[in-house]
Amino acid sequence: MTELSADTDMKQPSQPWTTQVAASLLRRTSARIGLSWIGLLVIIATFSPFLASSHPLYLVVDGQASSPLLQHMTPLDWIWLSGLPMILVIALLPLPLWKKFLSVLIGLAFTAMIAYTLASPPALVIYEQYRELEDTGKVETIIRAPIPYSAKDYLRDYADTGIESPLLTSEQRTHWMGTDENGADVASRMIHASRIALGIGFIATGIALVIGTIIGGLMGYFSGIVDIIGMRLVEIFEAIPTLFLLLSFVAFFGRSIYMMMVIIGITAWSGYARYVRAEFLKLRQQDFVQAAVACGLPLRSILFRHMLPNGLAPLLVATSFGVASAILAEATLSFLGLGLIDDPSWGQLLNQAVQSSTFNWWLAVFPGGAIFLTVFSYNLLGESLRDAVDPHTNRSKRA
C-alpha cells in the first residue's frame, strides 16, 4: 500500500537538498530582509570608490581629459571590483560546491597578484587640488561621485573643519551625515568602512570554519585518542578571551586589520569543531556511512561526500551567527580606540560620538545603526537558516 501511494509522489521533479533549503529560506520574510541588507552592503563595499571619493570621475582641465578616480584606485579596489562579478559568474556555473569554492579562491589570488603588480596609485594624495582647480575656474567639465569626499579627506582647505552636525553644515558643502572630529565626511567613511565590516566577518569566520571543520571532523570520525586530544585543545582555546588576546597583540605588534581577522579566526574555531564533531559522531553510526565503508569507498569520499554534507546544517547556522560576532568584535576594538588608525571603521566613528564634551548624535546614530542592521541581518539569516534546515519546524508549518 505504501509503495502504491508513493507512486503519485514520483511525478514531482527531484530537487537536491541544497535547492530545497535555499527555496525554503527565500520564502521567509526575515531571511529576505537579512539577505537584502547584506546584499546592499556588498554592493556598497564593492563600488565604494565610485560612491564616495574626492577624486572626480571625469575631469577636463585645459582641454585635457583625465580620470583621477581611476588613477587613484588602489589594488584592493580593483580586487573588490573584479572579485564580485567573478564570484557571481562562478556561482552560476554548474560545478560541485567544493570546485566553486576552490575556483573562487584561485580567482581571487590571481586577481590580487595582477592588481598589486599593475595598479600603482600615486603615493602622495592631495584631495584639495580639485576643489582649488574648480575655485580658480580652470575646470571645463567635472563629474564627481555622489558623495564628493574621500574617507580620508579631512577638508584641510576649509580652515574651519572640525566636528559638524549634518544640520549645521555651511552652504559650500553638504555632509549628509555630518563630519567627524577630523573633519572627514561621515557618510564617506561609513561607505568605505563597510568593506572592513564585511571582510572581517567573512575572513575571520572562514578561517575559524576551516580549522573547526578539519579538527572537529577528525575528532568525530576517529574518536578515541584523537577525540580526547582534540577536545582538550578545544577547551584550551575556549579558555582564551578573544578581546584580551586582541588587545595584547595590538599592544605588541601594532594595528593591522589582517592580524585581527586571523586572531578572531583562530580563537573562534572551537565552537565549529564541537558542532562538526557531534555531527560526525552521530553520522558515523548511520547506516549509509557504514554501507559506504562496506562498499570499500576511500576515506576521502566517506568524509567529504557522505558525512560532511549531512553534517553541514548546524554549521551553517552557527556560521551566520559567527559572522555577526566577528563584526561586533572589530567594532568593539575600534570603539575602545584600539582599532585601525587612519582607515575608516564603524566602531571608531561610534567612539567619537562620546569623546568630546557634547554628545554627537550623528556619530552614534549612523554607524551604530549600520552595525546594528548588519549584525541583526546575520542573526535573522541564521534564525531562518535554522528553521529551513530543521525538518521539525518545517513539518509543523505544513501539517
Q: Which stretch binds other proteins (CB under 8 A): 1-9, 41-49, 215-223, 262-270?
A: 1-9
Asked if 2 interacts with other proteins (CB under 8 A), we say yes
Instruction: Give the Å distances, CA to CA, from 141 to 40, 57, 69, 384.
Output: 31, 11, 15, 50
Which string of x and - marks every residue 288-317 that binds other proteins (by CB under 8 A)? Answer: x-xxxxxxxxx--x---xx--xx-------
**At 103, which helix (H) or strand (E)?**
helix 97-118
Best CA proximity match to 47, nearest among 157, 158, 198:
198
Which string of x and - marks every residue 4-43 that binds other proteins (by CB under 8 A)? Answer: -xx--xx-x-xxxx--------------------------
Asked if 284 interacts with other proteins (CB under 8 A), we say no
Report d(CA 386, CA 383) in Å as an integer. 5
Asked if 286 interacts with other proteins (CB under 8 A), we say yes
Report d(CA 133, CA 200) in Å as an integer. 38
Taking the least distance from each CB to other proteins, the nearer of 228 and 354 is 228
Instruction: Give the Å distances, CA to CA, from 277 to 227, 284, 307, 366, 386.
Output: 9, 10, 11, 41, 19
Taking the least distance from each CB to other proteins, the nearer of 19 and 248 is 19
Asked if 124 interacts with other proteins (CB under 8 A), we say no
- 225-254 residues near other proteins, rule: CB under 8 A: none
Q: Could you tell me if residue 49 is left (phi over 0), alpha (psi between -120 and 50 degrees) or otherwise beta?
A: alpha
Closest approach of other proteins to the CB of residue 18, in Å: 8
Asked if 136 interacts with other proteins (CB under 8 A), we say no
Closest approach of other proteins to the CB of residue 389, in Å: 12
Closest approach of other proteins to the CB of residue 235, in Å: 16
> Which residues have a Cβ under 8 Å from the Cβ of 259 and sit 6 or more positions away?
249, 253
Report CA torsion sign: 338, 342, 343, 346: positive
Closest approach of other proteins to the CB of residue 381, in Å: 21
Taking the least distance from each CB to other proteins, the nearer of 8 and 29 is 8
Asked if 258 interacts with other proteins (CB under 8 A), we say no
Asked if 94 interacts with other proteins (CB under 8 A), we say no
Asked if 167 interacts with other proteins (CB under 8 A), we say no
Closest approach of other proteins to the CB of residue 183, in Å: 55
Report d(CA 211, CA 150) in Å as an integer. 37
Asked if 3 interacts with other proteins (CB under 8 A), we say yes
Indicate the burial class of 294 (C-beta count within 10 angstroms; 0-12, 13-18, 19 or more).
exposed
In angstroms, how far is the first alpha carbon of the chain from the final one? 22
DSSP sequence for 302-320: IIIIIIHHHHHHHHHHHHH
> Which residues have a Cβ under 8 Å from the Cβ of 33 and sit 6 or more positions away?
377, 380
Among 287, 359, 392, 395, binds other proteins (CB under 8 A): 287
Cα angle: 292, vertex 296, 297; to 5 degrees: 60
Asked if 281 interacts with other proteins (CB under 8 A), we say no
Asked if 62 interacts with other proteins (CB under 8 A), we say no
# of chain residues touching other proteins (CB under 8 A)? 30
Q: Which three cell numbers stand for residue 388?
A: 529551513
Taking the least distance from each CB to other proteins, the nearer of 14 and 29 is 14
Asked if 393 interacts with other proteins (CB under 8 A), we say no
Closest approach of other proteins to the CB of residue 316, in Å: 13
Taking the least distance from each CB to other proteins, the nearer of 16 and 137 is 16
Taking the least distance from each CB to other proteins, the nearer of 6 and 167 is 6
Taking the least distance from each CB to other proteins, the nearer of 152 and 305 is 305
Contact 250, 338 (CB under 8 A): yes
Q: Which residues bind other proteins (CB under 8 A)?
A: 1-3, 5-6, 9-10, 12, 14-17, 286-288, 290-298, 301, 305-306, 309-310, 399
